[in-house]
Structure 1
Amino acid sequence: MGKLKATVSEARPAAKRGDGGATLAARASAERSEGHPTMSAVGTGSSPLTNRGELEALAIADHSDVSLVMADSGELKVVSVRVPTNGQVAIIDGLRVVIGEETFLPVVDGVDDEAFVRATSAALEEVFGFGLTRNLGQRRDFYGETWELGDNWGHVGFGGAKQNSTILISLAGQGTIAAKPGWEGRLHTFLTTRARRPVITRVDLAHDWFHGEVTVDQLDQMHTDGFFTNAYTIPCCQHAGDWKNPSGKGRTVYIGTRKAGLMFRGYEKGMEQGDSTSPWVRGEVEMSNKSRLIPFDVLVDPSGYFMGAYKKAFALLNLTVTPQRAEIKRKNAEISVDASLKLLNTQFGKYIGVLADFFGAEELVQKTRNRLGDWPKRLKVPDYFYADTPVHRQERRKSFNEFKLDSSDYSGALGMVV
């Protein structure tokens, strides 16, 4: 495992939440955080951008030792390791970040909660290409208010009595595909230069074998042979799907547990998307900040952290193919179109045949197509360009007061005592 290093830095107290019922503005203005906490300082290097705005992979990782960092709470956390890797072999397939509400105090244009929502939306649009689009009207992840990010590509949480005046930013896998290219570098810059009290609480890193170069059976056997054992304890292994009689609906092998903060999933992605004959297999490493620290550099060097999660297993697999998001979009689109045609043939094929003979194919299409031009959800290819107008660029709602009267309306009746 290399030389063990213990790093204990000066801890700064986090901003305290006051009255749980106070507004975001009132709570945030009560106390401002100065600088980033100790955890944020880990891994400050970053990958340069090419002239096309794409991330350029680091040729050699900075370190491969295991480091211990003391968090503000006094808990020692393991820092995820990096190892040398040739080219990017993994992408970010999901992300959860927490930042302090005081991040937006310098730019809010009001004193109410909506001002913080609009400021957060504007910042996220700069990073991802899309912002907050609507209030979901629900509590989620223990936050009092949840907003949709883009076209259901994630969500953002505000408020909550025990959330320590923080904002949760959760980007789903579809969101990472839809986001404007180069978002990883922009988010890295935002977290390290602008955000207050930023912490990555979870990140999913993925590699795709589009043509069946690796199967879930091989991944399962590698666990049996000890290739997913990082120390001395063999990680637990669980299965989902029909492994005795594969049905074409997809199988998954889980290695490790969320409780340990590190887990691997290998699953038949193409079958999950609806293609029962697809050889497409995806391998995902899920890291969480339970008992470990996730450095911000995972955003600009996902391959280093992916390879470092299970060094023996991934070295054996010889991951050399770079997964491209464009290829993932194409694969998803192909499978979705095939599945849609199969759905039409299975459920409506007889009707289509008879009605096409009666009306003719062209007239039948005109009579049955959606009048609004809406697309089925499964056929929508996620792309920031098609996202709804974010809330910060919508006209701000004006409060309505049914008792608001001008001088000509006042008759003295409101002041009468009965």
Structure 2
Amino acid sequence: MESSSTTGSKSESVESRVSKIDWLNATFDAPAMSVHGLLAFVGEVMDKPITAELDGGLFGFTERHRITARLDDGAKVEVGSVALGGESQKGRWMLQLNGKGCGLVNDWASVQELLEGLAATISRVDLAVDFLDGEYSVDDAMTLYHEGAFINRGRNPELDTQGAWHEAGTKGRTMYVGKLKNGKTLCVYEKGRQLKMPDSNWTRFEVRLGNRDRVIPLDILTNPDRYFAGAYPALAHMLEAAAEEIPTVREEIKGSLAHGLFHMQRCYGKYVQQALEATGCTSIDLVEEVRVIGIPKKVEPSGVVAGLAWPELQAQIGRLKQ
């Protein structure tokens, strides 16, 4: 939904806005390279000297190599980790780059190419857009929420707020749309005030994506704008990019089932009708005769099929008929 008070009046600020990767967790089977080789790669894409220190475990991995980069001024900052080991991880590794680490990467194409070669899975990625002069503010985001601009598939995501919403202060305000445990959330916060700049209008919009019920494409690393714009309808007008939504597995299943049933009706619906009329069998008898126990390849995984409601599937088939 487009609001004349928030979206339409701010179109002039769109062209200069680009999103950036602000966090990355990627997992992959143990590669041919050593930990040292992977760390050397991280140093290359950051163009900074890095060191690593073995420091406990992380997310069930028993071995964590905490990565530190040396900046041009000599300061050292933690930029991420390489984690591996642990029976529960079944030989997999994880590369994690935090916000500072992502900010130092100057060659995301090489990162994407490496992860593609490793057949990696992105388990978390954050996409951030900064409005340094408050072109879009926390108040704008709240207005868009109440106007229904975040509604997707008929439901408004959950809303949570933190900070000084009901009192004057310099702490800053934060709002969350959606829940990360469901695989997607938007965090909007007053970044300037977080950095102790009380007069700053700097606001950050940050989409946080997880791989629960969705496969995050690796090209999100080199084309973050379109996935930021596609995360929620309200964000589509904030960047000059074609919005692309990452479907959940359930939506893909619904689409695959609907597509198959639509073509079954188109190609074989008349056969069904003639069998019913000519033989006098019941619909149940006919279905039991022709159905095959199993799951079509395009409808994997089966774990979420049971949650699909018949009216949802009917509606999807109806859209295909239009």
What TM bracket, shorter-length normalisation? 0.5 to 0.7
Give the CA deviation at 1:185. 0.6
Residue 203 (structure 2) pairs with residue 285 (structure 1) = no
Give the CA deviation at 1:88. 6.5
Residue 196 (structure 2) pairs with residue 274 (structure 1) = yes
Unpaired runs of 5+ residues, structure 2, are: 1-13, 70-76, 242-322
Distance in structure 2 (CA, Å) of the matches to 1:178 and 1:142: 27
Aligned partner of 1:232 in structure 2 is: 154
TM-score (norm 1): 0.50
The amino acid of 2:91's aligned partner reads S
Distance in structure 2 (CA, Å) of the matches to 1:87 and 1:200: 28
Q: Aligned residues, how many?
A: 220
Aligned partner of 2:78 in structure 1 is: 152
Give the CA deviation at 1:145. 1.3
Distance in structure 1 (CA, Å) of the matches to 2:112 and 2:23: 15
The amino acid of 2:84's aligned partner reads F
Aligned partner of 1:91 in structure 2 is: 20
Cα shift readout 1:37-75 (whole Å, capped 9, x = no counterpart): xxxxxxxxxxxxxxxxxxxxxxxxxxxxxxxxxxxxxxx
Distance in structure 2 (CA, Å) of the matches to 1:146 and 1:131: 19
Q: Give the 3-state SS of the residue equivalent to 1:153 in structure 2.
A: strand
Residue 36 (structure 2) pairs with residue 118 (structure 1) = yes
Q: Give the 3-state SS of the residue equivalent to 2:129 in structure 1.
A: strand
Aligned partner of 1:133 in structure 2 is: 51
Distance in structure 1 (CA, Å) of the matches to 2:64 and 2:49: 13
Aligned partner of 1:319 in structure 2 is: 239
Q: Could you tell me whether the CA contact under 8 Å between 2:21 and 2:103 is conserved in 1?
A: no
Distance in structure 2 (CA, Å) of the matches to 1:209 and 1:246: 22
Residue 119 (structure 2) pairs with residue 207 (structure 1) = no
Match of 1:178 among 104, 125, 136: 104
Cα shift readout 1:359-389 (whole Å, capped 9, x = no counterpart): xxxxxxxxxxxxxxxxxxxxxxxxxxxxxxx
Aligned partner of 2:222 in structure 1 is: 300
Q: Could you tell me whether the CA contact under 8 Å between 2:26 and 2:124 is conserved in 1?
A: yes
Give the CA deviation at 1:186. 0.7
Distance in structure 2 (CA, Å) of the matches to 1:320 and 1:120: 35
Q: Give the 3-state SS of the residue equivalent to 1:247 in structure 2.
A: coil
Give the CA deviation at 1:236. 0.2
Give the CA deviation at 1:134. 2.6
Give the CA deviation at 1:136. 4.0
Distance in structure 2 (CA, Å) of the matches to 1:229 and 1:213: 22
Give the CA deviation at 1:265. 0.5
Distance in structure 1 (CA, Å) of the matches to 2:40 and 2:135: 42
Aligned partner of 2:140 in structure 1 is: 218
The amino acid of 2:221's aligned partner reads L
Aligned partner of 1:243 in structure 2 is: 165
Give the CA deviation at 1:123. 2.9
Matches within 5 A, 1:75-86: none
Distance in structure 2 (CA, Å) of the matches to 1:166 and 1:131: 26
Instruction: Identify if the C-alpha distance between structure 1 residues 162 and 189 changes in structure 2 by more than 3 Å, giving closer, same or farther.
Output: same
Q: Give the 3-state SS of the residue equivalent to 1:292 in structure 2.
A: coil
Cα shift readout 1:188-207 (whole Å, capped 9, x = no counterpart): 11122x32x41111110011
When structure 1 is superposed on structure 2, of 122-131 and 269-278 the one drifting more is 122-131
Question: Is the radius of gyration larger for structure 1 or structure 2?
Answer: 1
The amino acid of 1:148's aligned partner reads R
The amino acid of 2:182's aligned partner reads A
Q: Give the 3-state SS of the residue equivalent to 1:154 in structure 2.
A: strand
Distance in structure 2 (CA, Å) of the matches to 1:140 and 1:131: 24
Cα shift readout 1:334-353 (whole Å, capped 9, x = no counterpart): xxxxxxxxxxxxxxxxxxxx
Q: Give the 3-state SS of the residue equivalent to 2:115 in structure 1.
A: helix
Distance in structure 1 (CA, Å) of the matches to 2:122 and 2:48: 20
Runs of 4+ in 1 over 4 A off after TM superposition: 85-88
Instruction: Identify if the C-alpha distance between structure 1 residues 125 and 148 changes in structure 2 by more than 3 Å, giving closer, same or farther.
Output: same
Distance in structure 1 (CA, Å) of the matches to 2:48 and 2:91: 24
TM-score (norm 2): 0.64
Instruction: Identify if the C-alpha distance between structure 1 residues 132 and 281 changes in structure 2 by more than 3 Å, giving closer, same or farther.
Output: same
The amino acid of 1:156's aligned partner reads V
Distance in structure 1 (CA, Å) of the matches to 2:222 and 2:17: 10
Give the CA deviation at 1:129. 3.0
Distance in structure 2 (CA, Å) of the matches to 1:266 and 1:224: 15
Distance in structure 1 (CA, Å) of the matches to 2:220 and 2:239: 18
Instruction: Identify if the C-alpha distance between structure 1 residues 87 and 100 changes in structure 2 by more than 3 Å, giving closer, same or farther.
Output: farther
The amino acid of 1:319's aligned partner reads L
Distance in structure 2 (CA, Å) of the matches to 1:89 and 1:173: 16
- RMSD (Å) for aligned C-alpha atoms: 2.1
Match of 1:265 among 157, 180, 187: 187
Residue 112 (structure 2) pairs with residue 188 (structure 1) = yes
Q: Could you tell me whether the CA contact under 8 Å between 2:161 and 2:175 is conserved in 1?
A: yes
Distance in structure 2 (CA, Å) of the matches to 1:98 and 1:123: 16
Residue 88 (structure 2) pairs with residue 162 (structure 1) = yes
Give the CA deviation at 1:319. 3.2
Give the CA deviation at 1:130. 4.6
Distance in structure 1 (CA, Å) of the matches to 2:15 and 2:201: 25
Unpaired runs of 5+ residues, structure 1, are: 1-84, 108-115, 322-418
Aligned partner of 1:59 in structure 2 is: none
